[in-house]
Amino acid sequence: MEKLKTLWTRYFSSINAAIRAGLGLGIVFLFVLLYAAENFPVLKATVGFLGRLENQTYDVRLRATMSNKMDPRIVIIDVDEKTLAAEGRWPLSRDRWVKMLTQLYDNYKIKVVGFDVIFTEPDTSSGLDKLESMAQTEFKNNAEFQEKLNQLRPTLDYDSQFAEVLKKYPVVLAFAGNNQRSGLETLQLGDLPKPTFSLEKKAKPFLSMEIDGYSGNLKSIQEAAAATGHILPHVDFDGVLRRIPAFVKFKDGYYESLSIATFRTFLDNEPLLIKTRLDDVDGVPKFSRLQIGKTVMHLDEDATLLIPYRGPSPMYRYISATDVIRGKLTPAELQGKIALVGTSAQGLFDLRNTPVGEVYPGVETHANMLSAYLDNSLKQKPPYELAIKALIVMFLGIPLAIALVKLNPLVSTLTVFLTALAYIGFNVYWWNAGYVLPLAIPLLMILSLFMLNMAYGFFVEARSKRAITGIFGTYVPKELVAQMAENPDAYTTKGESRDMTVLFSDVRNFTSISEGLSPTELTAMMNDYLTKMTESIQTTRGTIDKYIGDAIMAFWGAPLADPKHPENALITAIEMQKRIRDIGPEYVKRGWPKLEIGVGLNCGVMNVGDMGSSFRRAYTVMGDAVNLASRLEALTKEYGVGILVSENIVKAVDIAIYREIDRVRVKGKLEPVTIYEPAGLKTEVVNQVIDEIDRFHRALDKYRSQAWDDAEAALRALSHADPKRKVYQLYLARIRELREQPPGANWDGVYTFTHK
C-alpha cells in the first residue's frame, strides 16, 4: 500500500498533472452518469444526442455487415399497378383474394401466407348489399326475385367465400393499433383475435407498446384465420425503423407480431416459450427471451427485436398478385415457401425510413424478421445492458485518463488512436457474435479525454486560423475564410486533384477601349468593373484565381468543397452578363464606353494548389480542363456569343436551356468537344427562344448530314428573324466553302481551330 502511495505521489508530482487526471476521471464519471440518465425520463431528453450517435453507429455496422443476398425462402405477393389494372381498383374484391389463395395453396403448394393487409370493411363490390336492400323494399313480395336472390347469395357473398377459404389453409392476418399517446384518434374497428397469451395482473411485465384502439378484420374473416399478428412498428426517436415490438398489449391480452405469428404457423403452430426478468435498475418485471422451436429471441427493455436487414430493397422476390391469380407461374416456384402479401401500388405503398433506405417497403421489414427467425440470427443487446455499458466506459476511461497526463502529444495521439481501434475491434467481434455493444459513446469519451489533454491545441488552432486568413483571404470571400478558419487543418495549399469548375472572362476590344481613355479613367473603370465581377463570383462561393489585365480567372470547388460547383459557376456566368448590361448606362454617363465580355466555362478534374517558383507562388488550377475553358472564352468572339460552355457543364447542370453551337477541335486537343451557349435559366427563357433553339438544332442536323440546301434554307430563315446572331452567318459561310470542297462521306461535322 505504501509503495502504491509513493508511486501515485511520484506520478502526480505537479498540481497540473493532478488536476488534469482529476478532470479526466471526472469525464469518465460523467459518461457513466449519462448512461444512467437513459433510464430516467427526466434526464433522458437531455442526452438525446448520445442516442442519435449510438443509432448512427448501429446503422453503420448494420450496413457494413449485411449479406446483401436475396432470400429465396420468402416471396412478396405484390398488389402492384399491374394487378390493379388487371383485377380492378383497390381494395380488390375478395373473390380475387379467394382465387389467389386457392392458386397459392392448391397449385403452387405454398407453406404459409401472411397478409400485410387488413380487411376492416365489408366487401360490397358484388352488389349483394344493394340486392339485399331491394329484397327488403320494392321486391319484398316478389317471390321470383327472392328465390333468385337466394340462389345468387352464395356466389355474391365474397366475405363468406373469403372466410371459407381462410378456414381451409394456414393464413395469417394482420391488425394495426393506435392510442391516445400517439396523438391519433383512438378507434376500435373490426375484430381482434384472441390474445397470444395473458398474464396475472400482479405479474404483468412492462411493455412500451400498449394500445387503446385498433384496426382489425371483419369478425367472420378474423375467426377463420389460422393466426393474426400486429403490424405496429417501433420507430426510434430519430424517425428510423430499427425494431419491431415482439408484442403489443391491449387491455389484459398480449398479441404477437405478424412475423412471429407467421413463423409459428410455418412451424405448424410451434408453441411460444417466454421468459421474464427483473429490470436491473427499477426492479420492474420485463420480457427477456422468447423461444420458438430452436429459434431464440432476446428482447430489449422495450420488448422489441432488432430488425436484421439483409440489404436495401429488394431483398426478396416480388411477384405480381395478378400473375398468381391467373396462374402464370410454374408450380415449383413457390413450393414450401413463405409468402407475404403487400402492395406497391401508387398511393398504397407502405413506406418506412430504415437504416438501409429512407423509402423502404414495410412488408419487407416482416420478411427480414422471418429470414432471421429461420436462420436463428437475430442480434441482441446484452443482458444487464446498463451495467455492461458502465464497465466498458470505466475499463477504457480510467487507465486512459491517468496515462495521458504524462504522455507527449505524439504518443498521446498514438495511444488514443490504438485504444479506439482496439475497442472498435472488440465491438465488431461481439457484433459478429450477435451482441450489440455501445460504440459511439465509448469513442466519444476517448475523444473527450484526448481533447482535454490537448488543450494547448487551442493556441495552435488560433495560429492556424491566422495562417488560413493570410493564405486565402485575397482569393475567397471573407465569410468563407471565416468558415475555413473553424477547421484550418482541413484546408491546405498542397497540390491535389479535384473535380472543379473554372471560368475565364475577357473584355471585348479592350485594346481600342484603353486607347480612348486616359490612364486615370482607364484605372477607375477597370477597378469598378473588376469589383462588380468579383462580387458576382464570390456570391456563389467562387475563388478568384487572378486578374490578367482585363481578364478574370476564377474557379469553384476549392479551397472549400462545393458539390454544386458547375451550377454555381454557370449562374455566375449568366449573372456577369446581366450585370455588364446593367452597368452600361452608368458607364456612358461617366464618359466610359459600354463593355462587352466573353465567358468560357468548363468543369472536370484539375490540379489545384500553391504553384509557382521560389520567387513567387499563387494558389491556382492547372490541367486540360482549365485549358479548354480558356479556349472556350476565346471562341466566344468567333461565334458572337457571350458565354460558351463545354458538354461537361451541360451534363452536370440541368437548370438552364442550352443552344448547341458546334463540335470543335480546339488547339492543343485531338478529341472533339461539343460547345454550347446557355440561353438562360429554364425559369427565365421564353418559349420563342426555345423554339428558335430547336429550329437551329434541326439546321445543325441537316448541316452535319451534308444536306446543304435544307441546312442553308433553315439558317437563312433564322438569320432573317435574328440578323445580329453571328453564328447563323458563320454556318452559311461554311456551307458555301463545303459545297466547293465537299468533306467526303466520312466527315464527322467537327470544325478544327488552328489558333487559340
Q: Name the percent of the chain lying above pLDDT 90.
A: 46
Q: Which residue has the higher pLDDT, 492 or 400?
A: 400
Exposure on the CB side of residue 220, measured as CA atoms within 13 A: 12
Cell numbers that stand for 742 in this block: 465537299
Instruction: Find out whether 485 and 468 touch, Cβ atoms under 8 Å.
Output: yes
Cell numbers that stand for 325 in this block: 391469380
Q: What is the pLDDT of residue 448?
A: 86
Q: What is the pLDDT of residue 492?
A: 52
Residue 183 in this model has a pLDDT that exceeds 70: no
Mean pLDDT on 512-521: 87
Task: Give the separation between CA 19 and CA 426, rounded to whole angstroms.
Answer: 31
Residue 632 in this model has a pLDDT that exceeds 90: yes
Residue 394 in this model has a pLDDT that exceeds 60: yes
Instruction: Find out whether 567 and 583 touch, Cβ atoms under 8 Å.
Output: no
Average pLDDT over the chain reads: 84
Q: Where are the alpha helices (DSSP H) in 157-302?
A: 158-168, 219-224, 258-266
Strand partners, 657: 680
Q: Which residue has the higher pLDDT, 526 or 178?
A: 526
Mean pLDDT on 47-64: 84
Q: How confident is the model at residue 148 (pLDDT cuts 50, 70, 90)?
A: low
Residue 611 in this model has a pLDDT that exceeds 80: no
Q: What is the pLDDT of residue 461?
A: 42
Q: What is the pLDDT of residue 31?
A: 81
Q: How confident is the model at residue 469 (pLDDT cuts 50, 70, 90)?
A: low
Q: What is the pLDDT of residue 503?
A: 96
Least confident piece of the model among 391-395, 613-617, 631-635: 613-617
Q: What is the pLDDT of residue 567?
A: 95
| Exposure string over 609-629, b if 16+ CB within 10 A, otherwise e | beeeeeeeeebbbeeebbbbb
Instruction: Tell me the domains of the chain and their CATH numbers.
Output: 2-66+385-453 (no CATH), 74-375 (no CATH), 496-683 (3.30.70.1230), 686-748 (no CATH)
Residue 155 in this model has a pLDDT that exceeds 80: no
Q: What is the pTM of this model?
A: 0.57
CA 639 to chain centre: 42
pLDDT tens digits along 425-448: 999 999 998 899 888 889 988 888
Q: How confident is the model at residue 351 (pLDDT cuts 50, 70, 90)?
A: confident
Q: Any residues with CB less than 8 A from the CB of 517 and at least 6 apart, and which?
A: 525, 592, 593
User: Mean pLDDT highest for which of 279-288, 345-354, 539-548?
Assistant: 539-548
Least confident piece of the model among 255-269, 395-409, 542-556: 395-409
Q: What is the pLDDT of residue 385?
A: 75
Task: Give the separation between CA 468 and CA 259, rounded to whole angstroms.
Answer: 57
